[in-house]
Amino acid sequence: MNRFKIFPKTLLSFLFIFTFSTTVQGQILKKLGKRAQRAAERTIERRVDKETTEKTDQALDSILEPGSKGPSTNPQVGDPLPPSGQGNPGVSSGNSEGTFPTSGEKTIEVYSKFDYVPGDKPLFYDDFSNDFIGDFPSKWNTNGGGEVVSTNNSEVKWLELISGYNIYFIPDVPKLPEDYTIEFDIMALGLDRQTSSTAKLRIALSDDNKFKNGANFVHASIPFCQYSPIGITMSNHINNKREIYSVVRADLRDEIMAGPHISIAVNKQRFRLWVNEEKHIDIPRIVPQGGILSTLKFNMNNFKDGKERVFISNLKVAEGGLDLRRTLISEGEVSTNGILFHSGSANLQPQSMGIIRQISQVLQQENSMNLLIIGHTDSDGQEDTNLTLSQKRALAVKEALVSVYGIDGGRLQTDGKGETEPVGDNTTPDGKAQNRRVVFKKI
């Protein structure tokens, strides 16, 4: 009888621990940014689940095996957590309301070894700023559907993709050259521990400009599964024959929930892919020779319709992506659109550090070289404001060279031209992207 008297006290202790853990969880989550919240939720879920399992085992042991005081050591297979209850936060599409998650940016220092260098000749840029909410974007093609959406408290627009068999989304990028780079942002909603291990966003480079794989292609598939680290799937066909099919180990669960920035560099046969600051793929001979892969496509597979939603924005394709160091040394000047700032500010986006790192390497090698750093803006806003902004942005680049890479500040001068020297059409997203640039000039 004594063992059954113990049960109510033990059960009450268990319920108190569980309730306390849940309360603490809520207090912590209120302090976190929403995009970072999901990563924290997973950690808390695991800890609470572990505590719950241990306390349950101890309670049962005290009832069924009074002599046993230690926690159960039975292995847990697959860590089968229930859905997190993230649900399906809404977005503004027509009259619907909702917000995307947000999170703080990683520090510049985190990206100090980031070696991605974007192309220096823009081929395509789309942030959907010229498209209406609820429409399919004007500079894209599809054989399915999709629409432009936004949040209530942000001017950022996103293209919501739809999942389905052989449904493609094709931006109007000119024919891809042999050397180019691709960048875009991803956002996902409605993911949980039940999201399929086969739920993936595929980036395809193909010789077919419509809605087929083509005889020649390269596929990179980004996983969205949350219950297990799936890895990035890489495959290709050359003349209808598969030569590469591999799954590269990568745990991208936290990155996917936080909204990652994807960077890709294609240099002839070489294919590299970064998720945020980390390079995951570097395959030297996966792209067919001769620049025959002319078209960029996206498609998504095995997502739950209406629940698991995927969005992309800020797609940028640029020719080049080669070594800027040789250009600066041989020609004494280099201009780049790859140094990015937060809108309307001089705060560097950490993804820009690949270019700044290369400039620092030139200065470390060429001890006698001094540089003038010149900032340029597009024409959005007031002219005097843009002039000041361009000066501040040039200064921010100088400060990164000095503080992150140890370059002597006396070797660097800065200037800003604002919107006064455009190289593209300021009425289009493409032209604006060309005009937002930084020039390094040997002095």
Query: Which residues have a Cβ under 8 Å from the Cβ of 192 and sit 6 or more positions away?
Result: 83, 84, 85, 86, 226
Contact 51, 20 (CB under 8 A): no
pLDDT at residue 35, as a whole number: 47
Pull the structure tokens for residue 59: 């309670």
pLDDT at residue 395, as a whole number: 96
Q: Residue 405: which of 440, 441, 361, 373 has the closest Cα?
A: 361
Q: What is the CATH number of domain 324-442?
A: 3.30.1330.60
Sign (positive/negative) of CA torsion 7, 9, 11, 17? negative
Distance of alpha carbon 116 from alpha carbon 352, whole angstroms: 8
Pull the structure tokens for residue 348: 């560097």
Pull the structure tokens for residue 406: 């140890």
CB atoms within 10 A of CB 160: 18
Q: Which phi-psi region, left, alpha or beta, contains residue 194 (left: φ > 0; alpha: ψ -120 to 50)?
A: alpha
**Integer angstrom CA distances of residue 213 from 4, 161, 176, 248:** 66, 18, 16, 22
pLDDT at residue 346, as a whole number: 93
pLDDT at residue 158, as a whole number: 96
Give pTM, 2 decimals: 0.65
Q: Is 74 helix (H, G, I), strand (E, B) or coil?
A: coil
Distance of alpha carbon 424 from alpha carbon 8, whole angstroms: 75
End-to-end Cα separation, the chain, in angstroms? 91
Fold entry, domain 108-319: Jelly Rolls (2.60.120)
From start to end of 284-378, where are the E strands?
295-301, 309-319, 333-336, 371-376
Please give the chain's pLDDT, 443 residues, in tens: 444 444 455 544 544 444 544 444 444 444 444 444 554 444 444 444 444 434 434 433 333 333 333 333 333 222 333 333 333 445 665 433 345 554 445 566 666 667 788 887 889 999 999 999 999 999 999 999 999 999 766 778 999 999 888 899 999 999 999 999 999 999 999 999 999 999 999 999 999 999 999 999 999 999 999 999 999 999 999 999 999 999 999 999 999 999 999 999 999 999 999 998 889 999 999 999 988 999 999 999 999 988 999 999 999 999 986 667 888 998 999 999 889 898 889 999 877 888 898 899 999 999 999 999 999 999 999 999 999 999 999 999 999 999 999 999 999 999 999 999 999 999 988 889 889 999 999 99
Q: Residue 117: which of 340, 289, 291 has the closest Cα?
A: 340
Pull the structure tokens for residue 108: 């510049």
pLDDT at residue 215, as a whole number: 96
Query: Which residues have a Cβ under 8 Å from the Cβ of 345 and sit 6 or more positions away?
Result: 389
| Beta-bridge partner residues of 169 | 142, 298
CB atoms within 10 A of CB 28: 14
CB contact burial 103-126 (16+ within 10 A = b; e otherwise): beeeebeebbebebbbbbebbbbb
Q: DSSP code of 211?
A: S
